[in-house]
Structure 1
Amino acid sequence: MRTGMMALALGLLALRFLPVLPPVWLWLLMPVAGLMLLPFRTYPAAFFLFGLSWACAHAQWALDDRLSPALDGETRWVEGRVSGLPQNGEGVVRFELTDSRSRRTDLPRQLRLAWYDGPPVNSGERWRLAVKLKRPVGLLNPHAFDYEAWLLAQRIGATGTVKAGERLAPARWAWRDGIRQRLQAVDAQGRTGVLVALVLGDGAGLSREDWQVLQDTGTVHLLVISGQHVGLLAGLVYLLIAGLARYGLWPARLPWLPWACSLAFVAALGYGLLAGFEVPVRRACLMIGLVLLWRLRFRHLGAWWPLLLALNGVLLMDPLASLQPGFWLSFAAVAVLIFTFGGRLGPWPWWQTWTRAQWLIAIGLGPFLLVLGLPISLSGPLVNLLAVPWISLVVLPPALLGTLLLPVPYVGEWLLWLAGGLIDWLFTGLALVAGKVPAWVPAAIPLWVWAIGTLGAFLLLLPRGVPMRPLGWPLLLLLVFPPRPVLPEGIAEVWQLDVGQGLAIMVRTRHHTLLYDAGPRLRGLDQGERVVLPALRKLGVKALDLMLISHAHADHAGGARAVANGLPVKRVLSGEPADLPGELQAEGCESGRQWTWDGVNFQLWHWPQARDSNQNSCVLQIEANGERLLLSGDIDTHAERALLASPLAVPTDWLQSPHHGSRSSSSMALLNVLQPKAALISRGQGNSFGHPHPVVIERYRHRAMDIYDSAQQGAVHLQLGRFEPPRSMRQERRFWRDPPPSGK
């Protein structure tokens, strides 16, 4: 039976790794084939087919509920009910609309919307909204968070921007939003946002600095992921009753174990409802229920049974849960604890058990964090030794009790005030640690290196005395100091990152790295911090020899400060140095300046007669083994005419499309002289500027140029000097992504 359950789990998990879904007829045939295999006692194969078929069916239903491509970019009047907890901040309201419908148009059931400068929106209200609809796509960059997978896992079929709207009905059954408003009105000693995250699992009120502190100290799971809170509360209730029974304070006529398990599960369900009963909470409640049932009746079967039952239960309930990193981390952490503590001989002292648990989880989860592309907190094992009991034993009880007693005058407010002060003490300590030991963001590593390092972690989790266990340390250290591929002389690696409506291009030679523009920063959304800096770190960039900001517009220079704060930058050049932040200490772009890095030649051009910011763009030509790339910033036809009189007016293989493909750029005169073979376009999906303009695209096609558009293909990677076609992120097929369009 255990083998069949493991096969079922493998079938359900296989969905995560499929590049494309099998055709409908095939996954409908799978359970039939499984039933035919049962009489031959081939249970593993049959259960694997059952699991894979069930997972594919759910994935297909979710894909079928996405916005039709014909409606992408269209504006429609939509009616629906606001669900969840809307997020208000920095001039924008973000919320989800369920049961959405529109006249004469089939829409996905659930939409994720943003309303800039919109009115307050509360959970449970019904609205009629004019929405510019978009397909559920996101930025695609190397080793980055996959927003499209997250949207599919949340069953969100479309995103959109609200243009106008009217409230049709007030909120109904929106008690969670009411509790949040009450909590936000309480004096929590400046920690209201953290308190709301702890009680309701809503992290929208956390500041950027709070998020960074939690990430650096490895304590995000304590204050944001509500499933962790549910487990803490259930454990507290169970231990409280067990302690009362041990010291003779529990009524003798009531058997303590059934009561402890029952009340712990009731507490978990109650807190789950308070936290919204979203997928992580449902997963936590199911796991807690199975663990308590195992403790009550089936302890003799071993500790792996509740984990295996919970794994299958979660995946049967929601097969798309495997697309989310939290799913893998939560089950991996429990598996590490069962594996290590289940094989020990004799008990350890409580303090030794607690300290070993933290370090073993850190070692066991390290390979998972690496493969998921998540930061690794170096201080996390030590910090969690104090933070976990502080939150679970000191902060959580007054926070939940204060929320429950809010209707009682003064009592609830005082308890929440106390909880806020306790949280503030914790954050003061966490900030000190984070300032000294920030999180480690490792570079991406090859699969074979990861496999060897994972083997090392497994060896270290084995009991002492097992042969070859000491080999775990050198194998694990391979994850920290992996071998790095070295570019040959005369070759330049180029990444056009997907930053939306902006530009950021990394150029790396054997020993040097250059960043041309740093992505946009608009309405508080800094893509330099969110996209460019993490991508550079994942690509193994330790420092920038040069950051070249073409001009001072926010879509090109907005992320420069964040990049400079996160990485050492030796020099900054720009076409408009005076308009950049002073701390960048930018120098001017000098026409004709040339240099060579590792056999790759670079040359600058700047138009001294420029009359506006776009014309002031600093242009860079890169030549490797005779293959050329021209990075043109936002120059227009007037600047292009001047460029044609410069030494850069030579045949060029790759052209970064000037001004994101604007109609005022990419003149036929420029294309006739440069004779580019391909164009790189960096722009946002459905941007309000209409980039790239159809006239420009027609010019490119007229010259039979290949077109690599970041909005359609994600980040683009090429190796200049090899004369090879580039690779785009969307070419890495995943069943939840639309296939890339043709390059022509």
Structure 2
Amino acid sequence: MYTRMFALASGLIALRYLPALPSVGWLLLMLLAGLMLLAFRVWVVGLFLLGLTWACVQGQRALDDRLADSLEGRTLWVEGRVVGLPQHAEAAVRFELQDARSRHGALPATLRLSWYGGPPVNSGERWRLAVKLKQPGGLLNPRGFDYQAWLLARRIGATGTVKDGQLLTAAHHAWRDSLRQRLLISDASGRAPWLAALIMGDGSGLSRDDWKLLQATGTVHLLVISGQHIGLCAGLIYGLIALLARYGLWPRDWPWLPWACGLAFAGAAGYGVLAGFAVPVQRACVMLALVLIWRLRFRHLGVWLPFLLALNGVLIIEPLASLLPGFWLSFAAVAVLIFTFSARLGPWGWRAAWLRPQGLIALGLFPVLWILGLPISVSGPLANLIAVPWISLLVLPTALLGTLLLPVPWLGERLLWLSGGLLDWLVRGLGLLAGYVAPWSPAAVPLSVWALSAAGALILLLPGGVVLRPLGWPLVLLAVFAPREPIPHGQAEVLQLDVGQGLAMVLRTRHHTLLYDAGPRVRDFDQGERVVVPALRALGVGGLDMVLLSHADSDHAGGALAVQGAIPVVRVVGGDVPGLPEQLQAQPCVSGENWEWDGVTFTLWQWSGASDSNQKSCVLQVQAGDERLLLTGDIDAQAERALLKTPLAVPTQWLQAPHHGSRTSSSMVFLKALSPAAVLVSRGRGNTFGHPHPQVMARYKALGVQVLDSAEQGAVRFRLGAFGRAQSERDQRRFWRDRPG
């Protein structure tokens, strides 16, 4: 039974790793083969094929529901209904629109929209909106968050920006939104947004600093409604009935166990409805139902069967759930607890039952967080040691009871005030802890090294009497002291990050690292924090020898403060120092300055006749052996002509496209003089500037220059001095990254 369940789950999960979905013919063949194998009792292969077939069918349905090419980038008037809880941030309101209609063509079932400076939007309302729509997409960076996969898993077929709109119909029966508003205006000791997140799964009221605090202390799971909250609610109800029955306070005519199981599930399901019944909550309810059935009728079947039943149940309902990090974290946490508790002969005392689980979960989840590219909270076990019982026994019961009793004058408000006060004490304590211990982001390593370290964590989870258990520690420590391939002397590794409409490039020699531009910051999106810093940590960069900001425009220098605040920087150089923040303490770019790191030569140049920030861009030439790279910032054709009169006007194999491929740059005389083999274009897909311009692309094509476009290929990496080819993130194919036809 276990093998068959595992085979079915493996087939459903295999969808995540497919480079492309099979055709209809192959799907029919897989279905017939699976059914025939089941008929001949070849269970494992047959169930695997059936699981894979079902997952592929659902994946294709989600892909088919994406925005058509003909509607890409167009501004349309659409009508639809707001669903879920809109997220009201400082700069915009973000919400999902369903049942959207437009006279210009069929639209996906669900749209995710942002309205900057717009009016309040509430769940259940119908709006007529002027929306500029885009096909689902996202940035592609090493170990970065895959936004496109996240959109597909939530079956969002298009994203867009609202230009204008009018309310058609007010919300009807939008009780969740009304309840959220009631919570947000309640006197909850200043923690009303936290209570809204805890009770309703609405984290839009939390600031970026709040989220950083939760991530630093490994307590995000306490505020994002997940299986833990559903389990806690059910456990409180089950425990209360069991306690009443033990002391004879439960009606004797009512069998306590069926009532305890039934009411526990009803309470958990009610909490799930209150939280919006999203995928994590659905997953938790399925698992809880199976556990309660097992407790009621099938205790002799062991503990792993309910786990596998829940795993398969969730994946059959929504095979795309495997694309979400939360899917892996929630099931991994449950698996760790089952493995560690069931593998021991005797029960733990109350101290061990309180102290050990947090350490074991942290150890068991560390390989999962590592492979997913998520930060690992070093203070997490200690923080959760206090936070879990504090939330479970004090905050959550009073918060839920206060919410239920809000119609009762004074009582519900007082309970929410008490719950908010308890939460405030916890947040203050977490803040003190986060100030002492920062989260750790281990560097990316080969899969074989990760597998050895994961095996070490598994060995350490075994009971203490196992002979080989101490060998797990050196394997786990590979995460800290993992061997990395050194960069040869005289070569430089170049990584152009995918930061959207902006620029950020990492250049590493054997012992030094330089960051050329730091990505854009637009409204509440800081790509220095979101993209550059995680990429540097994934590369194992502990400090930057230089941050070179070509000029002061926000798309090039906007992320610099976030980088400087997260990673030690020895020196900051800028092409337009007066336009940069004073905190950076930038030094001016000096034409002719050159230096050598590990056999690689770096040379700066700036046009003395520049009249604006773009023309003041600090140009960097990097030479490794006989291979050259030229980083040009946003210089225009005038600055290009001035550069051609300098020693930098030599054949250059790699060229960063001036001004993202603007029509005013990449002049033909400039390209002919440098005769690059490849040009690097960093820009946002569907940007309003029209970069790169068709005329510029025609010049590249006429000269036979290879174009490496971040909007099409994601982050691009190559080794300067090795005369090799560039590799891009899109080279690692996944089925959801294919554009709709």
TM-score (norm 2): 0.98
Structure 1: distance between partners of 2:607 and 2:248: 87
Structure 2: distance between partners of 1:151 and 1:39: 38
Farther off after superposition, 138-147 or 464-473: 464-473
1:551-590 Cα offsets, whole Å, 9 max, x none, are 1111111100000000000000001122212221110000
Structure 2: distance between partners of 1:680 and 1:734: 23
Structure 1: distance between partners of 2:340 and 2:227: 23
Do the aligned residues in 1 keep the contact of 2:286 with 2:313 (CA within 8 Å)? yes
**2:175 corresponds to which residue?**
175
Structure 1: distance between partners of 2:610 and 2:18: 52
Q: Where do 1:36-115 residues align within 5 Å?
A: 36-115=36-115
Farther off after superposition, 577-586 or 56-65: 577-586
Structure 1: distance between partners of 2:704 and 2:537: 36
Do the aligned residues in 2 keep the contact of 1:731 with 1:740 (CA within 8 Å)? no
Structure 1: distance between partners of 2:507 and 2:73: 33
**2:549 corresponds to which residue?**
549
Structure 2 gaps, min length 5: none
Structure 1: distance between partners of 2:534 and 2:49: 39
Do the aligned residues in 2 keep the contact of 1:516 with 1:548 (CA within 8 Å)? yes
**1:287 corresponds to which residue?**
287
What amino acid sits opposite 1:437 in the alignment?
V
**1:585 corresponds to which residue?**
585
Structure 2: distance between partners of 1:336 and 1:89: 36
**1:614 corresponds to which residue?**
614
Q: Where do 1:441-520 residues align within 5 Å?
A: 441-520=441-520
Do the aligned residues in 1 keep the contact of 2:69 with 2:740 (CA within 8 Å)? no
Report the CA distance between 1:116 and its aligned residue: 1.3
1:244-272 Cα offsets, whole Å, 9 max, x none, are 22233322332221111111101111000
Structure 1: distance between partners of 2:267 and 2:544: 52
Structure 1 gaps, min length 5: none
**1:5 corresponds to which residue?**
5
**2:334 corresponds to which residue?**
334
1:506-559 Cα offsets, whole Å, 9 max, x none, are 000000000000001111211101111111111111100000001111111110
Report the CA distance between 1:740 and its aligned residue: 13
Structure 1: distance between partners of 2:107 and 2:231: 37
Report the CA distance between 1:451 and its aligned residue: 0.8
Q: Where do 1:139-178 residues align within 5 Å?
A: 139-178=139-178
SS in 1 for 2:735: coil
1:161-195 Cα offsets, whole Å, 9 max, x none, are 11111211111221111111111111222212111
**1:235 corresponds to which residue?**
235
Structure 2: distance between partners of 1:461 and 1:581: 49
**1:394 corresponds to which residue?**
394
1:314-347 Cα offsets, whole Å, 9 max, x none, are 0110001111111111111111111111121121
**1:250 corresponds to which residue?**
250
Structure 2: distance between partners of 1:694 and 1:617: 24
Structure 1: distance between partners of 2:540 and 2:193: 35
SS in 2 for 1:362: helix
What amino acid sits opposite 2:176 in the alignment?
R
SS in 1 for 2:423: helix
Structure 1: distance between partners of 2:534 and 2:20: 28
**1:325 corresponds to which residue?**
325
Do the aligned residues in 1 keep the contact of 2:650 with 2:673 (CA within 8 Å)? yes
The answer to whether residue 312 in structure 2 is matched with residue 316 in structure 1 is: no
Report the CA distance between 1:487 and its aligned residue: 0.4
What amino acid sits opposite 2:186 in the alignment?
V
1:72-114 Cα offsets, whole Å, 9 max, x none, are 2122221111111111122311110111121140111111011
What amino acid sits opposite 1:305 in the alignment?
L
Percent of paired sites with the same residue:
67
1:473-527 Cα offsets, whole Å, 9 max, x none, are 1111112211111000111100110111111000000000000000011112111
SS in 1 for 2:141: coil
Structure 2: distance between partners of 1:275 and 1:293: 24
Farther off after superposition, 345-354 or 134-143: 345-354
Q: Where do 1:186-205 residues align within 5 Å?
A: 186-205=186-205
**2:660 corresponds to which residue?**
660
The answer to whether residue 399 in structure 2 is matched with residue 410 in structure 1 is: no
Report the CA distance between 1:694 and its aligned residue: 0.9
What amino acid sits opposite 2:194 in the alignment?
V
What amino acid sits opposite 2:169 in the alignment?
A
Farther off after superposition, 711-720 or 236-245: 236-245
Report the CA distance between 1:273 and its aligned residue: 0.3
What amino acid sits opposite 2:370 in the alignment?
L
Report the CA distance between 1:29 and its aligned residue: 2.2
Structure 2: distance between partners of 1:97 and 1:690: 28
Do the aligned residues in 2 keep the contact of 1:551 with 1:576 (CA within 8 Å)? yes
Do the aligned residues in 2 keep the contact of 1:198 with 1:226 (CA within 8 Å)? no
**2:380 corresponds to which residue?**
380
Q: Which runs of 4+ in 1 moved over 4 A?
A: none
Report the CA distance between 1:275 and its aligned residue: 0.2
1:286-320 Cα offsets, whole Å, 9 max, x none, are 11111111111111110111101101100110001
Do the aligned residues in 2 keep the contact of 1:712 with 1:740 (CA within 8 Å)? no
SS in 2 for 1:515: strand
Do the aligned residues in 2 keep the contact of 1:730 with 1:740 (CA within 8 Å)? no
Report the CA distance between 1:687 and its aligned residue: 0.9
Do the aligned residues in 1 keep the contact of 2:227 with 2:330 (CA within 8 Å)? no
Report the CA distance between 1:739 and its aligned residue: 6.8
1:573-623 Cα offsets, whole Å, 9 max, x none, are 001122212221110000000101111110000112211111111000001
SS in 2 for 1:616: coil
Structure 2: distance between partners of 1:595 and 1:137: 40
Report the CA distance between 1:348 and its aligned residue: 1.4
Do the aligned residues in 2 keep the contact of 1:551 with 1:574 (CA within 8 Å)? yes
Structure 1: distance between partners of 2:612 and 2:327: 51
Do the aligned residues in 2 keep the contact of 1:730 with 1:739 (CA within 8 Å)? no
What amino acid sits opposite 1:372 in the alignment?
L
Do the aligned residues in 1 keep the contact of 2:66 with 2:740 (CA within 8 Å)? no
**1:649 corresponds to which residue?**
649
How many residue pairs match? The answer is 741
Structure 1: distance between partners of 2:534 and 2:21: 30
What amino acid sits opposite 1:600 in the alignment?
V
What amino acid sits opposite 1:2 in the alignment?
Y
Cα 1:227–1:336 shift into 2, 3 Å? closer
Farther off after superposition, 721-730 or 406-415: 406-415
**2:300 corresponds to which residue?**
300
Do the aligned residues in 1 keep the contact of 2:631 with 2:656 (CA within 8 Å)? yes
Structure 2: distance between partners of 1:119 and 1:15: 40
Structure 2: distance between partners of 1:353 and 1:227: 19
Structure 2: distance between partners of 1:469 and 1:517: 47
**1:599 corresponds to which residue?**
599
**2:521 corresponds to which residue?**
521
Do the aligned residues in 1 keep the contact of 2:491 with 2:509 (CA within 8 Å)? yes
Do the aligned residues in 2 keep the contact of 1:128 with 1:165 (CA within 8 Å)? yes
The answer to whether residue 220 in structure 2 is matched with residue 220 in structure 1 is: yes
1:180-228 Cα offsets, whole Å, 9 max, x none, are 1111111222212111100100111111111111111110000113443
